[in-house]
């Protein structure tokens, strides 16, 4: 039998740089795929991120108002689907349920990532956790189910930070409550919190640069969605919170 026609039984090895070395150019594709390590497969963090984006895209406030109220939040108040506008236009109960739902959209994906994501593609687990954490807020702000026109991301950001640093969230709660109590502007409290929480994340989670980068990106997204609120605050026309 021709020597080249014999089946190849050699197993590829890796050199010092992690590159695969084959003893023969006739190694079959199936054998190559069989011998690729687990870390070279599609990272589970990407699947969690996709799930997080789709979950974040679910418009909690809009669904609740359509089920239990005749009002469309996109046509009333600030025309936003977030908890604050739902509270103002559809009542306290639906507003609080919207808040809970939007928070859970942040908690669930990052909680799953913390349990399942590991080091893959040469990236540590906290990077994949941060990617999974970013996905629901991107979904909430740019939801595929609403033509990429969604909420402002504050409640979902809260859900992201809860598993990462509960102590940072607790401190920001008092910051938010103090600002809203004194000036009655929910938007001002929200903006102040997203701006300052990266400092707290850097302090309390100094073990992870990825979490700090996540908090900076989240801050940029939330501030971007609050451009109208910032303009009204500067003009003195922003709506004040009424209990």
pLDDT computed for residue 199 by the predictor: 98
Asked if 162 contacts 169 with a C-beta cutoff of 8 angstroms, the reply is yes
Record the tokens describing residue 145, joined without a space: 């189910």
pTM, full prediction:
0.81
Asked if 34 contacts 42 with a C-beta cutoff of 8 angstroms, the reply is no
Domain range summary for the chain, segments of one domain joined by +: 3-35, 41-145+153-235
Nearest-angstrom CA–CA distance, 70 and 73: 10
Asked if 160 contacts 218 with a C-beta cutoff of 8 angstroms, the reply is yes
pLDDT computed for residue 16 by the predictor: 57
Pick out the chain residues at pLDDT < 50: 1-6, 8, 24-39
């Amino acid at each position: 039998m021709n020597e080249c026609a014999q089946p190849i039984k050699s197993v590829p090895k890796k050199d010092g740089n992690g590159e695969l070395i084959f003893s023969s150019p006739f190694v079959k594709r199936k054998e190559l795929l069989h011998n690729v390590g687990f870390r070279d497969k599609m990272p589970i963090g990407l699947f969690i991120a996709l799930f997080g984006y789709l979950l974040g895209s679910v418009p909690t406030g809009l669904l609740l108002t359509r089920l239990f109220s005749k009002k469309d939040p996109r046509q009333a108040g600030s025309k936003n689907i977030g908890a604050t506008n739902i509270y103002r236009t559809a009542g306290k109960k639906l507003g609080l349920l919207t808040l809970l739902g939007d928070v859970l959209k942040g908690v669930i994906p990052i909680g799953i990532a913390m349990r399942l994501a590991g080091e893959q593609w040469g990236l540590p687990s906290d990077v994949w956790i941060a990617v999974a954490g970013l996905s629901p807020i991107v979904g909430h702000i740019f939801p595929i189910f609403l033509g990429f026109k969604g909420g402002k991301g504050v409640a979902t950001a809260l859900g992201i930070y809860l598993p990462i640093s509960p102590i940072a969230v607790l401190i920001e709660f008092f910051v938010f409550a103090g600002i809203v109590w004194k000036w009655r502007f929910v938007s001002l409290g929200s903006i102040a919190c997203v701006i300052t929480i990266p400092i707290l994340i850097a302090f309390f989670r100094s073990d992870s640069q990825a979490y700090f980068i996540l908090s900076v990106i989240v801050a940029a997204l939330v501030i971007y969605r609050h451009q109208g609120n910032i303009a009204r605050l500067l003009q003195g026309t922003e709506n004040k919170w009424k209990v």
